[in-house]
Amino acid sequence: MNNVYFDNAATTPMRDEVIASMTEVMRKNYGNASSSHSFGRSSKSLIEQSRKTIAQYLNVSAGEIVFTSGGTEADNFVLQSAVKDLGVKHIVTSKIEHHAVLHTIDQIEKEYNITVSYVDVEANGDIDYKHLETLLQTEKKTLVSLMLINNEIGNILDIEHVTNLCKANNALFHSDAVQSIGHYEMDLQALQIDFLAASAHKFHGPKGVGFAFVRKNSGLQPLILGGEQERGLRAGTESVHNIIGMEVALKSAYANMNKETDFIKKLKDYFIDKIVKEIPEVTCNGESGNLDKSTYTLVNICLPIPPKKAAMLLFQLDLKGIACSKGSACQSGSSQNSHVLTEILNDTDLQKPSIRFSFSIYNTKEEVDYVIDVLKAFME
């Protein structure tokens, strides 16, 4: 076995139908969607159809979908405008959010001198909901920003509980749902989320495109200026082929969701059962080993390997053709520990290597067997 890709939480391979649709659009629909001639109108029509399709899956209106370059831009857009334009004076978040949220909030705090509160995180990686309720007891206009599924440990937020707390306390709610969209069905009318971020490359779509869900009449103003695209909320010539690719990827995700979810769940369950059997000292970080409390797409394991030897683990796995991650791909160049694991692990476990393995429909049990055999051999 030469190559095993278990880093699907970082990015996923595109589906064949996504590549085919994008190729077709690049070949035939190359007009600027802002142009008034037939070439432009053709591109504009495709974009608006994609917007309607995505909106239907989320049970929102098409005007509430704003196309962006990905989840990071969507997070920046919402957080910065909420403070600058909506008068938010208090942001509640957690220290285990994606850096797209944490770094943005850090900068906003410096620029606008707002109050930032960090909700406590339980030892299992869950949010302390009682502490969240306490933090919402304020007269300041508040925005809560909590991710739906943690990208490193897979814990699933009780989003219905959070939205109810926010509404009861007149707080706005933003969620980075990058690891959720395309993997779970979501009804944003029922949930009453105010803002949400998504990225196509997490559900077998292209990189460089995503969207923000912005609740109607929110008052949000654009982050990127220079044109009237996206109803004036996001300037810049639309990437038509990427938007179509995202639409097709989401269509395929929903059409195959039950079957593919069942397949990946069984694969994750097989991985956990086998690694616990073969390496009994291994532990799962957060709730990633619990199929009821974490996403079915990933598991984050802590291995009983001495620190000196652990430093070579990812390198050795790469040499064996295995792609995985010590955390978010966005911090792969960092020598520091994962900020998520630093919050939930004790000092002893932090000295051990933790690896995230994330799965897709393109993985197999044979690949799981190979990876675990390589890990066992490395530990001997």
Write the DSSP symbol of residue 334: -
191 with 279, same domain?
no
Identify the pLDDT of residue 36: 94
Query: Does 200 lie in the same domain as 78?
Result: yes
- Check whether residue 219 and residue 298 sit in a common domain: no
Cα-based angle 128, 132, 133 (whole degrees, multiple of 5) = 120
- Give the β-pairing of 195-199 and 172-176: parallel
So what's the pLDDT on residue 326?
84
- Are 184 and 127 within one domain? yes
Element at 263 (helix H, strand E): helix 257-278
> For the purposes of burial, counting CB atoms within 10 Å of the CB of 1, is it exposed (0-12), middle (13-18) or buried (19 or more)?
middle
**330 is known as an active-site residue:** yes
Please pick, among 166, 302, 324, 330, the residue that the annotation labels catalytic. Answer: 330
Note the maximum CA span of the chain: 67
- Please give the model's pTM, rounded to 2 decimal places: 0.95
| 143-157 as b/e: b if 16+ CB within 10 A | bbbbbbbbbbbbbbb
Per-residue pLDDT at 334: 45
Low-confidence ranges of the chain (pLDDT < 50): 328-334
- Contacts (Cβ under 8 Å, ≥6 apart) of 255: none
Query: Cα torsion for 285, 8, 321, 278, to the nearest 10°?
Result: 30
Give the pairing type, strands 298-302 and 283-284: antiparallel
**Whether residues 115 and 137 fall in one domain:** yes
**What CATH number is associated with residue 194?**
3.40.640.10
For residue range 200-227, what is the model confidence (pLDDT) as tens digits? 999 999 999 999 999 999 999 999 999 9
Spatial CB neighbours of 44, under 8 Å, sequence gap ≥ 6 = 33, 34
User: Is-contact 372 276, C-beta < 8 A?
Assistant: no
* Confidence (pLDDT) at 329: 45
Neighbouring-strand partners of residue 302: 283, 354
CATH of the domain at 316: 3.90.1150.10
Q: Are residue 192 and residue 80 in the same domain, yes or no? A: yes
User: In the block, which residue shows the tokens 């009994």?
Assistant: 280
What stretches of 10-157 show up as alpha helix (H) in DSSP? Answer: 16-28, 38-58, 71-84, 99-112, 129-135
Helix, strand counts (H, E) of the chain:
14, 12
pLDDT at 197: 98
When divided into structural domains, the chain yields a total of 2
- Residues 320, 251: one domain? no
328 within 8 A of 178, measured Cβ to Cβ: no
Point out the domain boundary residue: 234, 255, 276: 255
The reply to whether 295 and 333 lie within a common domain is yes
28 and 128: one domain? yes
- Cα–Cα distance for residue pair 273/269, rounded to 1 Å: 6
**pLDDT value for 69:** 98
Instruction: Name the E strands within the chain.
Output: 4-5, 65-68, 90-93, 115-118, 142-145, 172-176, 195-199, 210-214, 283-284, 298-302, 322-323, 354-358
Radius of gyration of the chain (CA): 21
Q: Give me the pLDDT at residue 337, please.
A: 80
Among 255, 283, 312, which residue terminates a domain? Answer: 255
The whole-number pLDDT of residue 333 equals: 44
Same domain (yes/no): 304, 328: yes
For position 336, what pLDDT does the model report?
67
Domain residues for the domain of 198 are: 16-255
Give the DSSP letter string of 201-239.
GGTT--TT-EEEEE-TT-----SS-SS-TGGGTS-S---
Indicate whether 183 and 281 sit together in one domain.
no
Last residue of a domain, one of 208, 239, 255: 255
How far apart, in whole angstroms, are the C-alpha atoms of residue 22 and residue 24? 5
Do 98 and 232 sit in the same domain of this protein?
A: yes
Tokens of 98: 């994606």
